[in-house]
Amino acid sequence: MLQQCYNAPADLPPHCLAAVFAGRDSNTGKSHSLPDRISSLCSRAVKWASLRKKKNAEKKLAITVFSFPPDKGNVGTAAYLNVFGSIFKVLKELKKDGYDVGTLPGSETELIQSVSGRQCAWHGQCQQGCL
């Protein structure tokens, strides 16, 4: 398994990529490359590199919000963490940095109401565009 980690300066988060690109023959112990995996890994690396040239407004991002067990009213809960407060701050910074985040709620409370007011957030069956 190839694991490539890049640690950038303190103001940038590290980026990691892990992928299996070879396997061992159980009889001989020799390593054999897996061409489809190598092709996929190279394609992914090229796409990641192209992100450096894209304008932030053209990049697509996703924020995943914890909800377990689903449909139990646990959207965005985590012990001792202000999940929606953190998400709200991240969204404001992304907008400031030129990312298209749509229309931001006016406050953390409005963000909570926006997410919790959607039926799909409580039934564990979110569809694309639901949130």
Has this prediction a pTM greater than 0.75? no
Residue 84 in contact with residue 121, Cβ under 8 Å? no
b/e per residue 57-68 (b: at least 16 CB within 10 A): eeeeeeeebebe
As a whole number, the mean pLDDT across the chain is: 77
The pLDDT score that the predictor gives to residue 117 is: 67
Domain ranges of the chain: 2-53, 58-123
pLDDT band at 3 (very low <50, low <70, confident <90, very high): very low
Return the SS3 of 22.
Answer: strand
Q: pLDDT for 61-102, tens place per residue?
A: 888 777 766 666 667 777 778 888 999 999 999 999 999 999
Query: 6 forms bridges with which residues in the sheet?
Result: 15
